[in-house]
């Protein structure tokens, strides 16, 4: 009886001494506005699982897609304020707040998401902008080239776009205006009906949106205006206090995963573009290619957008010219 009691007490002491075996040292929450079915959402969730796997459960992340924790526009501040520990959204939702990184969103002539993603991460690494000092940056990614798509009228020249009403926001709206069109600032979810009902004549959007938002069902013409194609930069950031609480070994593991996942996001965007282009053509869409001379004319017409960026950043005490030149040289 005495031996049994001694054994029981030893087991009890062991249970008290080792209560955290198998439990996570750090638990995080991840907010993302993409719905669960979107390829970017699937990658974000996979990142969470990969972090838990490679840290051997030291870091566990609860994933909240579809804006269930914080909405797209609230995401960044939500991370800063601790409403979520990790967040994915796009910098453009806080226009003017990230002047250095905004250079990447300009119509610089992107041809792929891989190019846009590499450029975004290179710009951050080069300038380490103070605008992002209130978070711990994981990585960035950018969607594939944003191009022009129209409903009734094919666009092959600048003359063709003159006066056309084009759904566009932010830098793409500035681009439309510079090219001679009339930008109509409406959110992407409203785009399908705007095009279908003839409220707008066309839209500036990534190729993948022809399938993901079904825009290829209503747009009949696409213009391969790659010489002035833009991107949108998406951020993945973590609350600074939460990052500090993670052990050094796990931090190094997460940084390695971040490098891999930036490439995965870019690949997913490019694959989605290929699918979006095929969807557009399967629906009867026609692609217009710009001549070499016309492409150069579009670049010249878009130059005021770039000049405007330099002027705006210079007013903020930044070397906008150097930032822009570095961004251009990197993507090329």
Between these two residues, 318 and 20, which has the higher pLDDT value? 318
Average pLDDT in the chain: 93
Q: Give the rounded percent of residues in the chain with a pLDDT score beyond 90.
A: 88
What pLDDT shows up at residue 332?
82
Torsion of CA 10, 12, 15, 18, to 10 degrees: -50
Rounded alpha-carbon distances, angstroms, from residue 329 to 49, 119, 123, 265: 36, 9, 11, 22
- Summarised one tens digit per residue, pLDDT across range 55-78 is 999 999 999 999 999 999 999 999
**Confidence at 24, pLDDT banded by 50, 70, 90:** low
Average pLDDT (242-270) is 98
Question: Which CATH number is associated with domain 25-142+232-273?
Answer: 3.40.190.170
The pLDDT tens digits of the residues spanning 218-252 come to 999 999 999 999 999 999 999 999 999 999 999 99
Taking 60 as the threshold, does the pLDDT of residue 174 lie above it? yes
Query: What is the C-alpha separation between 291 and 278, in angstroms, rounded?
Result: 22
**205: pLDDT strictly greater than 50:** yes
**pLDDT tops 50 at residue 18:** no
Average pLDDT over residues 27-41: 94
- For the chain, the domains span 25-142+232-273, 146-230+285-331
Coil/strand/helix, residue 148: strand
pLDDT at 46 over 50: yes
**Residue 187: band (very low, low, confident or very high) from pLDDT cuts 50, 70, 90:** confident
The band of 287, judged by pLDDT with boundaries at 50, 70 and 90, is very high
- Collapse the DSSP code of 204 into the 3-class scheme (helix H, G, I; strand E, B; otherwise coil) and give the result: strand
Average pLDDT of span 292-301: 97
Q: Quote the pLDDT of residue 5.
A: 43
Nearest to 273 by CA among 329, 210, 220, 328: 210
Average pLDDT over residues 294-307: 98
Taking 3-state DSSP, the helix, strand and coil percentages for the chain, each rounded to the nearest 5, stand at 55, 15, 30
C-beta of residue 164 within 8 angstroms of C-beta of residue 175 = no
- State how far the Cα of 313 lies from the Cα of 317, in Å rounded to an integer: 7
Cα of 138 vs its chain's centroid, Å: 13
Q: Where are the alpha helices (DSSP H) in the chain?
A: 2-17, 39-54, 75-81, 113-127, 158-161, 170-179, 191-196, 209-212, 240-245, 248-282, 292-315, 320-331
Find, among 105, 87, 85, 40, the residue nearest to 266 by Cα: 40
Q: Examine the pLDDT at 9 and tell me if it is beyond 90.
A: no
The 10s digit of each residue's pLDDT in 133-153 is 999 999 999 999 999 999 999
- Give the CATH H-level superfamily of domain 146-230+285-331: Bacterial extracellular solute-binding protein, family 7 (3.40.190.170)
Mean per-residue pLDDT, 168-196: 93
Whether 175 shows a pLDDT value over 60: the answer reads yes
Report the pLDDT averaged over residues 34-47.
95
């Amino acid at each position: 009886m005495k031996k049994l009691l001694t054994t029981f007490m030893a087991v009890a002491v062991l249970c008290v001494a080792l209560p955290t075996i198998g439990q996570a040292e750090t638990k995080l929450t991840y907010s993302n506005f993409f719905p669960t079915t979107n390829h970017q959402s699937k990658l974000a969730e996979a990142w969470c699982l990969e972090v838990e796997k490679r840290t051997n459960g030291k870091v566990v992340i609860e994933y909240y897609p579809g804006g269930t924790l914080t909405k797209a526009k609230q995401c960044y501040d939500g991370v800063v304020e601790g409403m979520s520990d990790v967040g994915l959204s796009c910098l453009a939702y806080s226009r003017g707040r990230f002047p250095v990184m905004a250079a990447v969103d300009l119509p610089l002539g992107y041809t792929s998401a891989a190019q846009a993603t590499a450029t975004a991460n290179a710009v951050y690494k080069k300038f380490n902008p103070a605008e992002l000092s209130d978070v711990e940056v994981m990585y960035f990614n950018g969607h594939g080239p944003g191009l022009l798509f129209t409903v009734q009228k094919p666009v092959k020249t600048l003359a063709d776009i003159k006066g056309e009403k084009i759904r566009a926001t932010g830098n793409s709206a500035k681009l439309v205006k510079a090219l001679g069109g009339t930008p109509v600032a409406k959110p992407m979810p409203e785009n399908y009906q705007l095009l279908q009902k003839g409220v707008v004549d066309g839209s500036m959007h990534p190729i993948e949106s022809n399938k993901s938002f079904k825009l290829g069902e209503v747009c009949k013409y696409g213009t391969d205006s790659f010489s002035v194609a833009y991107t949108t930069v998406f951020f993945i950031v973590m609350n600074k206090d939460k990052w500090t609480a993670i052990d050094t070994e796990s931090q190094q593991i997460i940084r390695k995963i971040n490098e891999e996942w930036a490439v995965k996001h870019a690949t997913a965007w490019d694959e989605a573009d290929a699918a979006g282009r095929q969807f557009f053509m399967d629906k009867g869409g026609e692609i217009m290619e710009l001549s070499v001379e016309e492409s150069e004319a579009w670049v010249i017409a878009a130059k005021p957008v770039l000049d405007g960026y330099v002027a705006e950043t210079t007013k903020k005490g930044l070397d906008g010219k150097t930032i822009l030149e570095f961004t251009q040289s990197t993507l090329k």
